[in-house]
Amino acid sequence: MRDAADKTARQAAALAARIQEAEAGISAAEARLELANTERTRLREELGRQQQPMAHLIAALQQFARRPLALSVLRPGSVTETVYLRAMLDSATPEIERRTAGLRTSLGRMAQLRQEAEEALAVLRSEEGRLSARQRELAELETTQRLALRTTSSSADREAERALALAEEARDLDTLIGELDRAGSLRARLAALPGPLMRPARPGEPGLTSLPQEALPDASATAPPAPYMLPVTGRTIVGFGAPQGGSVSKGVTFVPRAGAQVVAPAAGRIVFAGPFRGYGRIVIVEHPGGWTSLVTGLARTNAEVGESVVSGTPLGVAAQGGPKVTLELRHEGEPVNPLRFVG
């Protein structure tokens, strides 16, 4: 069952990575489309300004061209005026050619921008189709995973109830993380205890007094979780240690796409998943060596308390309106800049 769960977790992580890839492609296509449309609007306004005086000049020249040359020579006025008129036409012709060449270049650029916008729109629709298909695959996989976990959910349900009770009692997020860290330390100490005294197969033989050393967890390991990744793709708006509401930020805040996929930054164990006042829905992942990752700002969570996750396992999705996702990494309760460990 553990092997099947591990396989499902890795499949879900791979699907989540493809979903984030499609989201990045959509964002890039939207940016290309916006740039093309902005430049087209600017060129259209510039062409409008250039075309008005040029239209008046061309209309006057067309009217002059309709008059026969003989009548132009015999028109009233001195020969000097005729010479001046000829000189004016000779000097105006290159200027007209230069301006019309610029207009032709601008019109060609407009056609190119129109083609770029159509290509970006086609890419956008293709990426949206891929995103929708992968989201359906992930939903089906998560349904299968939930059904498989029902047979072993009794202990997980008890742990989830304890985590929710802690959330209700905790004054703030730091208190909640501290309580969960203490519970995690207790689990680690219990797991490191020697095994039971096994009954020897033959009387007189010594019994097995403890588990093999290699089977015990390495409680002294303090290396940060690796590989470590960002839980969501998006623009960074608050960095680690930045001033924020009279204090400093303990994590990094991102602005992703609406409803973006949010994943586990590293392998570990879910110790909390649910709403917490002022932070929306949050997920806390416990890593070996006293490390903890906190992801806040989710609109929906897919993770279950007690579930083991790998790096990239889907945790949920961001909000649809004004999404902000924050990542905090802590070691023994102390905030650490997570960007130092992102590979």
Q: What is the pLDDT of residue 212?
A: 42
Distance separating alpha carbons of residues 73 and 67, to the nearest angstrom: 10
Quick one: tokens of 55? Answer: 């239209």
Distance separating alpha carbons of residues 313 and 316, to the nearest angstrom: 9
Q: In this prediction, what percent of the chain has a pLDDT beyond 90? A: 20
Among the residue ranges 196-210, 233-247, 250-264, the one predicted with the least confidence is 196-210
Q: Hey, CA dihedral for 328, 185, 225, 261, is it positive or negative?
A: negative
SS3 at position 342: strand
Query: What number of other Cβ atoms are within 10 A of residue 28's Cβ?
Result: 14
Spatial CA neighbour of 178 closest among 290, 278, 71, 257:
290
- Matching CATH number, 155-195+225-340, of 2.70.70.10, 3.40.640.10, 1.10.10.10, 2.40.160.20: 2.70.70.10
Q: In the predicted model, is pLDDT for residue 210 greater than 50?
A: no
Q: In the predicted model, is pLDDT for residue 85 greater than 90?
A: no
Measured CA to CA in angstroms, residue 259 lies from 67, 256, 262, 296, 318 at distances of 69, 8, 9, 14, 5
Q: How many CA atoms within 13 Å lie on the side-chain side of 94?
A: 4
Per-residue model confidence as pLDDT tens digits over 221-246: 578 898 999 999 899 999 999 988 78
Distance separating alpha carbons of residues 187 and 249, to the nearest angstrom: 30
* pLDDT, average across residues 78-94: 62
Q: In this prediction, what percent of the chain has a pLDDT beyond 70? A: 62
Q: What is the pLDDT of residue 207?
A: 44
Asked: is 2-150 a CATH 1.10.10 domain? The reply is no
Distance separating alpha carbons of residues 286 and 295, to the nearest angstrom: 12
Q: Which residues contact 204 (CB under 8 A, 6 or more apart)?
A: none
* pLDDT, average across residues 289-307: 90
Distance separating alpha carbons of residues 103 and 110, to the nearest angstrom: 10
Domain ranges of the chain: 2-150, 155-195+225-340
* pLDDT, average across residues 290-312: 90
Q: In the predicted model, is pLDDT for residue 219 greater than 50?
A: no
- The full DSSP string for 265-301 is SSSEEEEEEEE-TTS-EEEEEEETTTEEEEEEEEEEE
